[in-house]
Amino acid sequence: MKILIVEDEKAIAEVEKAYIEREGYSAEIAGDGLTGLEKFRSETFDLVLLDIMLPGMSGTDICREIRRGSNAPIIMVTAKSGEEDIVAGLDAGADDYIVKPFSPRVLMARIRANLRKGASGEAGGSELITVGGSLVIDPQNLTVKKDGCEVSLTRNEFMILSKMAARPDKTWSRDDLITYALGYEYDGFERSIDSYIKNIRKKLSDPRHENGFIRTVHGFGYKISE
């Protein structure tokens, strides 16, 4: 497993690298955004640890660029605990975030969890799930097709959609989705769920399904809709 660290503060980058290597993974450091993006494009990485405040190009922009061509897990590292930064990162396609200063144990737990999500079809069963005849979700290959065309979702978007689609009878609270779709380790807040749902809808909606196959149940949460 190889991890790309994009971080302009050398001391932090070195500490991250040391902990990652102690776990038996390899890591490379890029000290600014453009270098990070170039490195990502020229080599193969299994996960990206991405600082938000970077010289040249922001972490959020890099995240968006990476997402154009890759589903590799991205963990945003942010110095501020400001919700806006975090929501922007998740909107740009990040899978997770961690707030500085963080403990090495938390960092490694997040890395392991995201690598695991990437490696296994954690969506539940292995059978195809269909919604309304036009949406086909493949939990084994983590793919979604709409009218036969593949739609690119981030891992967390996929987890949320597939969990909901597997139980079309159930209305999911935001808390349920954090717990059952993203995992107990996910330290997300409810607004991040709204942000994922918004992205899924943007990717799936069409004139026949303006709500992107997801119905809002006011005062409670979300439910799959055909």
Is there a contact between 123 and 153 (Cβ–Cβ < 8 Å)? no
**Smallest distance from the beta carbon of 181 to Ca ion, in angstroms?**
30
Q: Which residue has the tokens 């159930």?
A: 170
**Smallest distance from the beta carbon of 51 to Ca ion, in angstroms?**
4
**Smallest distance from the beta carbon of 44 to Ca ion, in angstroms?**
25
Tell me which residue has its CB nearest to Ca ion. Answer: 53
Nearer to Ca ion, 74 or 197 (CB): 74
**Smallest distance from the beta carbon of 7 to Ca ion, in angstroms?**
6
Helix (H) or strand (E) holding 3: strand 2-6
Helix (H) or strand (E) holding 197: helix 190-204
Nearer to Ca ion, 78 or 162 (CB): 78
Per CB under 5 A, residues contacting Ca ion are 8, 51, 53
The span from the CA of 55 to the CA of 28, in Å, is: 18
Nearer to Ca ion, 76 or 153 (CB): 76
The span from the CA of 40 to the CA of 73, in Å, is: 12
Nearer to Ca ion, 76 or 135 (CB): 76
Phi, psi of 59 (to 5 degrees): -55, -35
